[in-house]
Amino acid sequence: MEPLDRETAAKLFNHYRKQRDGIRNSPEMASVCLICGSIHISPHPGDGRMLVCRNCGFAFYRYPCPACGATIDGRDPRNPGCRECGERICTCGACDCPTNAPPLRKKAADPPPFSPLVPADRRTSPRARLQAIKR
């Protein structure tokens, strides 16, 4: 990614200081510190999912959701911390809780319409009934 110039960084900083919703969707915000406005951001040495500001030391989560691939940013109010596992919750609802994580195949926002494994008309067929009895 192109390094940000100071002017762009300052604009982003001012914008997202007031309105934090949307930080996750702004790729530039990976390199702007929301505490001091610095653009000297490095990967966190101890945690691959965190970034750290080299100017003020503020560290924040920013990583792709393992379930849907969307960016999770700990500074974004739409990515709150989970009370159960302590990880950030993606807008798709996934966090580190095994029960809360949607199946990997599921696409981001729209849950698939309910589809029974057996079509309705075959469920009542004599053969299907027979199989049910056998079991």
Residues of this chain that interact with Zn ion (CB under 5 A) are: 33, 35-36, 38, 53, 55-56, 58, 65, 67-68, 70, 82, 84-85, 90, 92, 94-95, 97
Burial tier of 24 (Cβ tally within 10 Å: 0-12, 13-18, 19+): buried
Cα(102)–Cα(106) distance, integer angstroms: 7
Beta bridge partners of 104: none
- To Zn ion, the closest distance from the beta carbon of 55 in angstroms equals 4
- To Zn ion, the closest distance from the beta carbon of 133 in angstroms equals 43
Q: Decide whether 5 or 84 has the Cβ nearer to Zn ion.
A: 84
What distance lies between CA 45 and its chain's CA centroid? 21
Q: Decide whether 30 or 85 has the Cβ nearer to Zn ion.
A: 85
Q: Decide whether 101 or 121 has the Cβ nearer to Zn ion.
A: 101
In 3-state terms, the chain is what percent helix, strand and coil (to 5)?
25, 15, 60
Q: Decide whether 56 or 130 has the Cβ nearer to Zn ion.
A: 56
- To Zn ion, the closest distance from the beta carbon of 93 in angstroms equals 7
